[in-house]
Each structure stands twice: as structure tokens, then as C-alpha cells.
Chains A and B, each alone.
Chain A
């Protein structure tokens, strides 16, 4: 299938300069269908997450948000569709993409400290045989510092609280030094102060010119945190700038009328 013209213009490096003004796509998804067994979890999804922007993916439980991210990254196979990052296939743009899974399914008793986990974000750059240098250690410390976890570098990963673990995984993604950050529910189960800290880090990334795409459940903060939104319920319901796409009708369609109208009004009013 041929990508729409806007996508061609959006491709990364060099060509962007000659293109007409328009948002450069950090992540472009075309006709993505993913299924576990015979029922599609994501069906024919199109989405264009612009560069230098904070984007949210919202939708009810089981809407396929995690599936969309994982399939975009190639963690799970896709039935159809193509995914490009900065105009290139994802497989060729790996070093520019960082991923923070939803409540990482890791072995919490694994013999690794918080610092070791963050160092994993540098494995790609170190290669198989490269040594861990002082510069790598400084990067690890700086990334832990950015998420307010500097004091926990030597702590075994299982001895951290859930919110602290979440921040360590964010630090691991930061260590990758990527241009596109995909986060699956970075605010799940974290306290208000931690949420504040994480959103500050993400906004700083955006201000540095990087793209952030986060699965987000708290509808009341969508308009405050994000500029771009994809509303998903197996199929994409609406996508675009928050001001135009995050509407009562779209919410109603996404959540299948399960949100009370009064509640929705308060969400949309928050936009103004």
C-alpha cells in the first residue's frame, strides 16, 4: 500500500528540509492488524505520532494499546501493516527507539541492581564485547538522577517499590538516548509526586526535540499532559491534536458509552 503524501514528506533527515511544512512523523503506523489466535486485538490501525510531541494512546482495558506498541516494535508478530520510525522501517531505526513496558514482566529476584538495569539500556551501544567504561557509569548515574533515583543505584531491583521500579525502567529507556520513547502506562500505580516527576522528565525530552508516545488511562490529565492523542478500541476511533480529536463523541465511541455524560463534559471542559 502507498503511504499518504504527508508521510512521505515526514521522512527523516535531509528530505524533511525540502518538504512543505508539516509535522515530521516519529512513528507512523499504516493498516496494522495484530491478533492472538483468530480474534484481532488491533484491527487496521493507522496512526501518525509526530516528532517533538507528547502523544497519548487512550482506550479501555483490552483495547489493544499494549498490543499496538508491542507489534509496532516487532515484539509480537503482526498480521498485516507497516510501521516506520522517522521514515525508516522500525528494524532499521532501533537505536532511535526506547520502550518502557507496562509493569515489566521481569523476575524481581533477578541478581541485578537498579544501576545494572539502567546499564542494560546501554548494551546495544556497548556491543557484545565492549567494556563498561567510566562514561557508561556516568550515564547510568545521570539517568537515575533524572528520575530521582540516584540514591538507589546499588539497590537490588526487587527491593524497590513499584513506583521506584517504574522509574528505574524509565531511566533505562533514557540511557538509550533515543529520539522516540514508547511508554506503556508510565503512571500506573505511582503516587502524585512520582507522576509529576515522570511527566517533567517526559516534557524535558519533548523540549529536547524527542517524541514521546505514552499509553495513558487517566482521562482527566490527557489535555494537560499531551498535545496529540490516539483513541483506540481495537480500531482507531479518533486521532489528532488533543484540542480537535479528544471530544465527547470520540470518548463515547471509544469507551462504548460506558462513561457517564457528565463525567465526559468535565473532561472536555478541562481542554478549554
Chain B
């Protein structure tokens, strides 16, 4: 626990602090960029892009060695990965546009072919350059052990550029994600916006390769946005919510993995993001599962209460057990089915409300007002006291329920 707290306070050593900051920044960038990916419903394309980085990593290594370099220079490897990711992206694009292949089939094809090719290249490198461990397999699942200041700085710069681009392109990207046809009709180049969005995603993928690896980066692009979606109905807020959630996941995940030996950073970050997702799924106020259940139950109780009271007012028997339970719980009904004093009073009030609505619908032809009659809304929530007094004048004096008021 102590180690976790010190990791959270960036006190767990230089390397852990770098990893924590880097992971947080990566989370912010991927959350923001991933939002439009999710809104455009192209989340899986990013998975193809991520897997398509692998051949590039291997080929870049080979090229750098052939040129007499070290082969492990991160900038070179990432440039290579970006290049092959771009080729993979264009391949998916081309296949969906030029052939009758559905996008998911194109994604599957590109993803597996590029990944397979990458593994072959990596295996060849390992057997040929025996002794000189390239460490290229770290790009699969990420590795933080040898994180350098320059690595963290690269994530910081790349992440900042990505966030700035998301901000600058938020309007065209929103427009295209919501209604591509309208976007095109107003002169937006939908294909260019889509490519820009994917380039953004690719950039985030590339800067995240070292930290979380290509297999799991897609989780950081997708989970924070869908988590944020539970908390808002506005796309603008969703972007920043996803950025915040991604940043928190990165930071928290890095701290947890630093607090114990042998906890892999990338997977832990993804698990933290998934935990935040699960919490939101359950507890978010408007779209969460529990809130929806509660709302549904409360609504049901209101319906039964009102129907039960109207039955009382008409001196009809109440048959449904649930209705009886609701009324008994409120002390409006005795267990033997006879209304209490309070129950009769409430029944009279509800019956009057219903009658007032009837009059209101007769007098007011205005659909905007009377259209709000749903059987549950009390009339004083819609009409003013003066208007209700007018309804009452037409109705005559109130009638007691059950004979003994």
C-alpha cells in the first residue's frame, strides 16, 4: 500500500515517475482521439492500424542495422511502425471502397496479414542477429523497464499535438461522425476528415507502442470514450471526459504496476480503464444500469399508486398484489383492502386532478399544454393556480370518496 501511495506521489523512483507521467499523457491523448473513433463507429479500424505497425518495426530495425546504426533507436522504429500502419490503413480503406468486401472483413484481413508478417520478420531478426537482443517483442505488450526521459518527452509532445489536433478538428469530425451525408452536402470532404481522424489515431498508437504495446493500445482508444459516454449526452463533454478518464487510467495503472514487482504496466492500465468502465456502467446517474433500474421501479410504483387510488375513488376493488403493496406501504390502504382515512383523502385528490385534466383538455386546444397529460403529471405542474381555479369553477365542489369525509 505504501509503495502504491509513493508511486501515486511520483516518489517511487525516477523510472516509475517517468512511466506514470508518460502513461497519463498517453491516456489523455488516446481518450480524446478515441472519442471520435468511437462516435464514427470505426473502433476496430484502429485495431487493424495497431497490428499493422509490427512489420514496420521489424523492417525499420533491419534498415537501421543495414545502414550501420544501432537498430534500436526508438525514433527510427516508430517511424517505421507509422509507415506500415499507414499502409495497413490505406489497405482497409481501399478494400472497403473499391471492392464489395464489408469493412469488418477488410479489417480482419489486414490485421492478421500484417501481424503475421510482422511476427515472421521479428522471428527472422532474432535468429539472424543472435546475441544482439533487439527487444522488439516489447512492442507487442509494451515494456516500461528501460523508459528514458526522451521516451516520456516524446509521448508528451506527441500527445499534446494529438490533443491540439482533436480540438482543432472537433467540428468537422463531429459533423462527419453524426451525419456524413449532411457533412458532404455542406462541403466537408468526408474522406479527408476520416483520414485525418485515422492519422490521429495512428499517431496515438505509435507513441503508445512502447508503453502499452500494439495488442492493447486499442483498449486505451476505446474504453475511455465509452466510459465517458455514460456520463454525458454531449459530444464535446465526452471528448474531455474521455481524456480525463484515459489520463486517470494511465496514471493509476502505472502507479499500481510500480507498487509491486512483476506487474506489467500496459495490461494493468487497461484493467484500470476497464474497472472505471464497469463502475460507470453500473453507477452512472443517467445511463447507468442501476439508475435505469431504480427509475423504472419508481415509475412503476407511481403508475400503480395512481391507478390504485383512482380505483379507490371509483370504489372499485384493487386486484393487483403489487398495487396493494404500494398503497399499504404508504399507509393509504389497510391490509384487508379497505382504504384508510389518508387513502380516501388522497383518492379524492387524485380523482379531482383527473377531472381537472378532463376540463383542461376541453378548454385548451393547445396541444403543447394538454399534450403533457400522461396520467401521472399532476395538473398543477402544467397549469397556473388561476387556470386551475377556472377548471374548478366548471367542475363544482369536490366530492368526497367513500361516503365519510
Our verdict on whether A and B bind, yes or no, reads: yes
Of B181, B233, B368, which one neighbours A156 at CB under 8 angstroms? Answer: B233
B340 in contact (CB, < 8 A): no
- Is A62 an interface residue when CB atoms closer than 8 A count as contact? no
Q: How would residues 224 to 258 of chain B score, 1 for a CB under 8 Å from any chain A CB and 0 otherwise?
A: 00000100111101100000000000000000000
Is A106 in contact with B187, judged by CB distance below 8 angstroms?
no
Q: Are A120 and B175 in contact (CB under 8 A)?
A: yes
Q: A116-B235, A128-B168, A128-B171 are in contact. Are A101 and B181 (CB under 8 A)?
A: yes
Q: How far is the CB of B206 from chain A (nearest CB, A)?
A: 24
B168 contacts which chain A residues (CB < 8 A)? 128-129
B184 touches A193 (CB 8 A): no
Are B235's CB and A110's CB within 8 A?
yes
Give chain B nearest CB distance to A110 CB in angstroms. Answer: 5
A123 within 8 A of B: yes
* Chain B positions within 8 Å of A106 at CB level: 178-179
Contact of B172 with A128 in the complex, beta carbons under 8 Å: yes
Q: How far is A53 from B182 in the complex, measured between Cα atoms in Å? A: 23
Write out the residue numbers on chain A whose beta carbons fall within 8 Å of the beta carbon of B229.
111
Given A128-B171, A129-B168: A104 and B233 interface contact (C-beta under 8 Å): no
Chain B residues numbered 147-189 whose CB sits less than 8 Å from any CB in chain A: 168-169, 171-172, 174-175, 177-179, 181-182, 184-187
CB-contact partner of B235 in A75, A94, A112, A151, under 8 A: A112
A104 CB contacts on chain B under 8 angstroms: 179, 181-182
Q: CA of A91 to CA of B169 in the docked complex: distance in angstroms?
A: 21
Asked if B121 lies at the interface with its beta carbon under 8 angstroms from chain A, I say no
Contact B178 A124 (CB under 8 A): no
Cross-chain contact B179 with A111 (CB below 8 angstroms):
no
Complex contact A113–B234 (CB within 8 A):
yes
Is A70 in the interface zone, CB < 8 Å from B?
Answer: yes
- Tell which of B169, B171, B177, B181 touches A110, judged by Cβ atoms closer than 8 Å: B177
Q: Does A105 contact B (CB under 8 A)?
A: yes
- Chain B contact patch, size range: 20 to 34
Of residues 76 through 131 on chain A, the ones whose CB sits less than 8 Å from some CB of chain B are: 91, 94, 97, 99, 101, 104-107, 110-113, 116-117, 120, 123-124, 126, 128-129
Are B186 and A176 in touch, CB under 8 angstroms?
yes
Q: Which A residues lie within 8 Å of B367 (CB)?
A: 193
Query: Any chain A CB within 8 A of the CB of B393?
Result: no
- How far apart sit A6 and B169, CA to CA, in the bound complex (Å)? 42
Query: A73 and B184: CB pair below 8 A?
Result: yes
Closest-by-CB residue of B relative to A130 is: B171
**Does the CB pair B368–A151 fall under 8 Å?**
yes
Q: Are B234 and A75 in contact (CB under 8 A)?
A: no
Query: A193: which B residues are within 8 A, CB to CB?
Result: 367
Complex: how many Å from CA A99 to CA B187?
A: 11
A74 interfacial contact with B, CB 8 Å: yes
Choose one: B41, B182, B187, B235; the contact of A111 (CB below 8 Å). B235
- Does B119 interact with chain A (Cβ within 8 Å)? no
State how many angstroms separate the Cβ of B370 from the closest Cβ of chain A.
13
Give the distance in Å from the alpha carbon of A112 to the alpha carbon of B238 in the complex.
10
A116 to chain B: closest residue by CB: B234
Q: Is B311 in the interface zone, CB < 8 Å from A?
A: no
Q: A107-B41, A110-B39 are in contact. Are A120 and B185 (CB under 8 A)?
A: no
Contact B185 A112 (CB under 8 A): no
Docked pose: A70 CA to B172 CA in angstroms:
19
Interface residues as binary, B349-391 with A (CB distance below 8 Å gives 1, 0 otherwise): 0000000000000000001100000000000000000000000
Interface string of A141-155 (1 = CB under 8 A from B): 000000000010000
In the bound complex, how far is the Cα of B182 from the Cα of A104, in angstroms? 8
Nearest CB of chain A from residue B286's CB, rounded to whole Å: 9
Contact (A113, B233) CB under 8 Å given A74-B184, A75-B181, A101-B181: yes
Return chain A residues, CB-CB under 8 Å to B169: 128
A177 to B39, CA, bound (A): 28
Whether A99 and B178, one on each chain, are in contact in the complex, defined by CB atoms closer than 8 angstroms, is no
Q: Which of B39, B181, B186, B235 contacts A70 (CB 8 A)?
A: B181
The smallest C-beta distance from A178 to any residue of chain B, in angstroms, reads 10
Whether A91 and B187, one on each chain, are in contact in the complex, defined by CB atoms closer than 8 angstroms, is: yes
By beta carbon, the residue of chain A nearest B41 is A107
Which of A73, A111, A123, A129 interacts with B185 by CB under 8 Å? A73
- Verify B182–A101 contact, CB threshold 8 A: yes
Q: How far is the CA of A101 from the CA of B186 in the complex (A)?
A: 12
Residue numbers in B under 8 Å from A123 (CB-CB): 171-172, 175, 186
Give the chain B neighbours of A97 by CB distance below 8 A: 185
Q: How far is the CB of A83 from chain B (nearest CB, A)?
A: 13
Known: A112-B178, A128-B168, A193-B367. A94 touches B186 (CB 8 A): yes
* CB neighbours of A128 from chain B (8 A): 168-169, 171-172
The 7 closest A-B pairs by CB, nearest first: A99-B185, A94-B187, A75-B184, A73-B185, A111-B235, A156-B233, A106-B179
Listed A/B pairs (14) with beta-carbon separation below 8 Å:
A70-B181, A73-B184, A75-B185, A101-B185, A106-B179, A107-B178, A110-B39, A111-B235, A116-B234, A120-B174, A123-B171, A123-B186, A128-B171, A176-B186
B interface, CB within 8 angstroms of A: 39, 41, 168-169, 171-172, 174-175, 177-179, 181-182, 184-187, 229, 232-235, 237-238, 367-368
| Given A111-B234, A116-B235, A128-B172, 5 other A-B residues pairs in contact with their CB atoms under 8 A | A73-B185, A101-B182, A104-B179, A107-B41, A123-B171
